[in-house]
Chain A
Amino acid sequence: MAQVILENVKKYFGQVKALDGIDLIVKDQKFVVLLGPSGCGKTTLLRCVSGLEKVTSGRIYFDGQDVTDLPPRSRNVSMVFQSYAVWPHMRVYENIAYPMKIKKYDREEIENKVEWAAKLLNIHELLDRYPAQLSGGQRQRVAVARAIVLEPAVLLMDEPLSNLDALLRVMMRSELKKLQERLGTTTIYVTHDQVEAMTMGDMIAVMSAGKIQQYGTPEEIYHKPANLFVAGFIGSPRMNFLEVEIQRGKGEVFFISESVKITCPLKLSDKLRDFPQKRVTLGMRPEHIHLSRVESGYPLRGEVYFSERLGADTIVHFKVDEEKIVAKIPGDVILEEGGSVEFFLDLSKIHVFDPKTGRSLV
């Protein structure tokens, strides 16, 4: 257990800025997820914390100790690789025992710890086998067992579930999280899958282009996205975005476009009073669009472009003039394609962004 602090960490590969100034505090015993699309730098960040990559500038601290210049083996970190990297020429037992073997633990202690780790991960019967004889899921458990056996200060995981089939992935999600809670190990977890991030993380750092876009709890990330990127990345189906003009009059703020004239809710109009530009981007999550009238609902009429009946919900794609708006309606709703339907935007849940910087204005 340790607190991890990254201070203005930068990593350049030649001219490429993989990490462009990362400041991050991972509190002790917390499960922090690094979430983002391919190439955002999350794996690079993880590797810098592990010591496999040297940072170009900046510092990394474990519990106040500066580990920036230490090699991986001196850092008391453990890692679960995406490909598991379970050594093929050693049996499962030897794989798990190896970290201790290198540190010259005595035989009895090694045996005890391997048993303990194997029991935790439910792989006790597999100890005698070679990795080639195991399934992907089993190999993954071996990798995790090996990573926790020395009870490291920091546990790092690089997309450990991405190579598993869907059912296994769901099962392992809860198992890994429960394991971490039980051991209390500070964990940094990399994924591009937002469901994993939302369900497992105590805190999520959403990354893009080498920067942390937002760092907060899953609720904060979801309900209070700090910018356009985070708002658009989290949530499926994606948040709807609408470009509108601001008009002010009679103490009220209006959002105007070809298709809409929305009165800005009072709570928000205060924050927009001093906004200098003429255009903003509105954001509305699909589940906040309803077919029946709601309080603070703004009515719109649109053509049903496409309908996806998922059984428990229905995703409806509307066409309003040239804009496409996606709504998520609970229940199984049958709408005729091409038909004209009225729907309502719940303005209490509206988001407003600055189109130039992407930042949230509210």
Chain B
Amino acid sequence: MVYRKDIVPFLLLLPTLAYLVLFLGYPLVQTFILAFTSDKGALGNFQQLMSTGEFWKTLKNTLLITGVVVPLQLVLALLLALFVNMRFKGYTIVLYIISIPLALSDVSAALMSYSIFAPMGYLNKFLLNLGFIEQPIYFFGFMFQTREFWVIVLTEVWRATPLVFVIILAGLQAVNREYLEAADIFGFSAWQKFRKIIFPILKPSILSALLIRTLFAFQIFGVVWLLAGRDIPILAGEAFYWQTEVNNAHMASAYALIIALVSLIISWAYITFLKPTQGSTA
């Protein structure tokens, strides 16, 4: 390591800093400015936002999806990670298969769901051909919002569980085999081993995965937009709509700001309440 009162390291960092200030800092500031500028004064956009029922519905949907998807992903990812970590013969193949969705865009995932749940999709054809149903079941369309919702949930869970899985599996590497062997000798049951040994060591990974997933769930866009359009309005979708279809950058920024605000609150809550204390195994 070089230890000098050099300016070289600062010169090396400068481009990155400058770039991020320009392309993250500036847009952030602009978002504020845009959101708080309207013909009706600083809060005009927000007033407009709140006056329509749309906003509360949007917020509710986003929260609902997040609240359903994230816990599901967490549990599934945990189970998958514990399973793969047993390192049975051929586990690397299963590992790679599970990581396939990591390469996929939410657009691809949505289209895959569509191919399954469309009126002429695989599910319907399967049920029709086996005689379980007479008419195809419709999963998409304004009248079928509940079904749309569950397809979206399913798609999101399918698509993003591997992200959580990878984080938790990495965290599992920190569990020393010797602890578990000692537990075996002392006669621990599988559940006890999990609760007393694995879970405490995993906590940091789980919490970090939880934070990342929650933040991203709030920004959900492609899957909903492609499968339900504005039938199920969500925050990112509304921002998109106002910008690209109504051409109102102010309202779009207002929505974007709300996403940013929620992200901030979630991050703050995480750091304050859930962040592991210094003493735990990291």
> Do A and B share a direct contact in the complex (Cβ within 8 angstroms)?
yes
- Distance of A4 from chain B, by nearest CB (Å): 23
The proximity string for B residues 1-25 relative to A, scoring 1 for CB distances below 8 Å and 0 otherwise, is 0011000000000000000000000
Complex Cα distance, B3 from A54, in Å, reads 9
For the residues of A in contact with B, the DSSP-based class is: loop
Contacts of B4 in A (CB 8 A): 54
- Tell me the count of chain A residues lying within 8 A, CB to CB, of chain B: 3
Contacts of A54 in B (CB 8 A): 4
Complex Cα distance, B133 from A128, in Å, reads 72
For the residues of B in contact with A, the DSSP-based class is: loop
- Distance of B9 from chain A, by nearest CB (Å): 15
Interface of B toward A, CB cutoff 8 Å: 3-4
Interface of A toward B, CB cutoff 8 Å: 13-14, 54
Complex Cα distance, B4 from A112, in Å, reads 40
State the total of A-B contacts with C-beta under 8 angstroms: 3
- Distance of B142 from chain A, by nearest CB (Å): 61
Complex Cα distance, B4 from A13, in Å, reads 9
Contacts of B3 in A (CB 8 A): 13-14
Closest A residue to B6 by beta carbon equals: A54
Complex Cα distance, B4 from A34, in Å, reads 25
Contacts of A14 in B (CB 8 A): 3
Complex Cα distance, B3 from A169, in Å, reads 33
Contacts of A13 in B (CB 8 A): 3
- Distance of A92 from chain B, by nearest CB (Å): 29
- Distance of A107 from chain B, by nearest CB (Å): 35
A-B contact pairs, 3 of them (CB 8 A): A13-B3, A14-B3, A54-B4
Complex Cα distance, B141 from A209, in Å, reads 79
3 residue pairs, one from A and one from B, having the closest CB atoms: A13-B3, A54-B4, A14-B3
Closest B residue to A13 by beta carbon equals: B3
Complex Cα distance, B3 from A13, in Å, reads 7
- Distance of B184 from chain A, by nearest CB (Å): 37
- Distance of B7 from chain A, by nearest CB (Å): 14
Complex Cα distance, B3 from A14, in Å, reads 9
Closest B residue to A11 by beta carbon equals: B3
- Distance of B4 from chain A, by nearest CB (Å): 6
- Distance of A291 from chain B, by nearest CB (Å): 50
Complex Cα distance, B128 from A289, in Å, reads 102
- Distance of B167 from chain A, by nearest CB (Å): 32
Complex Cα distance, B5 from A13, in Å, reads 11
Closest B residue to A12 by beta carbon equals: B3
